[in-house]
Amino acid sequence: MSGQRVAVLGAGSWGTTFAKILADGGADVAVWARRPELAREIRESKRNSDYLPGINLPRSLWASSRLDEVLEGREQVYVSVPSQSLRENLAAVRALLPDDAVVVSLMKGVEKGTRFRMSEVLEQELGVGPERIAVASGPNLALEIAREQPTAAVIASENHDTATRVALVATNPYFRSFVNTDVIGTEFGGVLKNLIAVAIGIVDGVGYGENTKASIITRGLAEMTDFAVAFGAQADTLRGLAGLGDLIATCGSSLSRNNTAGRLLGQGYSFSEVIKQMNQTAEGLSSVAPVLELALERGVEMPIVSQVAEVLAGTLAPRDIAPHLTTDPMPQGE
């Protein structure tokens, strides 16, 4: 669907890549960058050299650090800032959001303290009903997509028409969007795979091999599914692009920041040293605590995520992380 007027808020690796996806699908795209110098680089040089080195952005892409300029007249607004900064960023957006604009979360985190999903924060802060909210998720490593490698994603909205409208715009020759109405499953899939990817990074850093990783990925998917279903998700969603698909991509790639953070922990760096070394967002590190609080609330056991939390806290040595997932000596059903 060409010619749609859309905005992307956030010019990190994913916001910029998604802006390229939309522009390559024929949309008229304006990007909001927090820093004026980054907006200028995108607008004038068609580059984002810090986040997407070597990538030429579409000539049609326009960018500004002024929200009013970016949001004016936009029919769809895609949001891609670090999850823990979403609420503070939305304060300025509400008054500028065009009536009837659909808002799409590209983020994969849970808010610390409140434990809300990103679509819930969007609803609360923008005063927009769920029929105008969508979320995008799936196996979407930004740099691969920026290089135009064929990729699929899923767009979820409680309103099927909204999901379809967004998916028609977020589709181009190298990027295909599927749709569903399971917002909870799609969002939690993206959050939880980050935590399993941290676990995979940890065992990789320790030097464990493929058996350990396959055991953690497989049991991780079971853990993700139990958690998401307890909150109302469809189990099928977790077997799809937003669950298994994203788990495979994130656990298998050194491009993943969550995987990288885990690897550093496995190599013996402390949590604070890892934070210092990461110059991009590793959402999993902030989502561990709220996810475990939510799990406790619903009585869901999350042995892998709990072990990740212990490694982060320095109370479990990385080499002691184990995929057997239970302290009960009796054999458990899979």
Ligand X SMILES: O=P(O)(O)OC[C@H](O)CO
In this chain, which stretch among 64-72, 122-130, 168-176, 250-258 interacts with ligand X, using CB under 6 A? 250-258
**Is residue 258 close enough to count as binding ligand X by CB under 6 A?**
yes
Residue 243 annotated as lining a ligand binding site? no
How far CA 309 is from CA of 195, 203, 275, 285, 303, in Å, comes to 9, 14, 15, 9, 10
**Is residue 153 close enough to count as binding ligand X by CB under 6 A?**
no
Phi and psi, residue 107, nearest 5° = -95, 155
Give the C-alpha separation, 52 to 50, whole Å: 6
In this chain, which stretch among 25-33, 135-143, 235-243, 269-277 interacts with ligand X, using CB under 6 A? 135-143
Give the C-alpha separation, 12 to 24, whole Å: 18
Active-site residue flag, 20: no
Tell me the pairing of strands 151-156 and 5-9. Answer: unpaired
Residue among 159, 234, 280, 306 that touches ligand NAD (CB under 6 A) = 280
**83 interacts with, out of ligand NAD, ligand X, none, CB within 5 to 8 A per kind:** ligand NAD
Q: How far is the CB of 116 from ligand NAD (least distance, A)?
A: 14
Give the C-alpha separation, 26 to 44, whole Å: 20
Q: How far is the CB of 138 from ligand X (least distance, A)?
A: 7
Nearer to ligand NAD, 123 or 301 (CB): 123
**109 interacts with, out of ligand X, ligand NAD, none, CB within 5 to 8 A per kind:** ligand NAD
Helical (H) or strand (E) element with 5:
strand 5-9
Sign of CA dihedral 102, 240, 333, 319: negative
**Is residue 117 close enough to count as binding ligand NAD by CB under 6 A?**
no
**Is residue 141 close enough to count as binding ligand NAD by CB under 6 A?**
yes
**Is residue 139 close enough to count as binding ligand X by CB under 6 A?**
yes
**Is residue 281 close enough to count as binding ligand NAD by CB under 6 A?**
yes
Residue 321 near residue 146, CB atoms below 8 Å: no
Residue 245 near residue 206, CB atoms below 8 Å: no
The 8-class DSSP code of residue 244 comes to I
Place of tokens 């977790």: 238
Nearer to ligand NAD, 37 or 328 (CB): 37
In the structure encoding, which two tokens stand for residue 61, read together? 């892409």
Residues that bind ligand X (CB under 6 A): 108, 139-141, 194, 197, 246, 249-250, 256-259, 283
Residues that bind ligand NAD (CB under 6 A): 10-15, 34, 51, 80-83, 85, 89, 106-109, 140-142, 280-281, 283
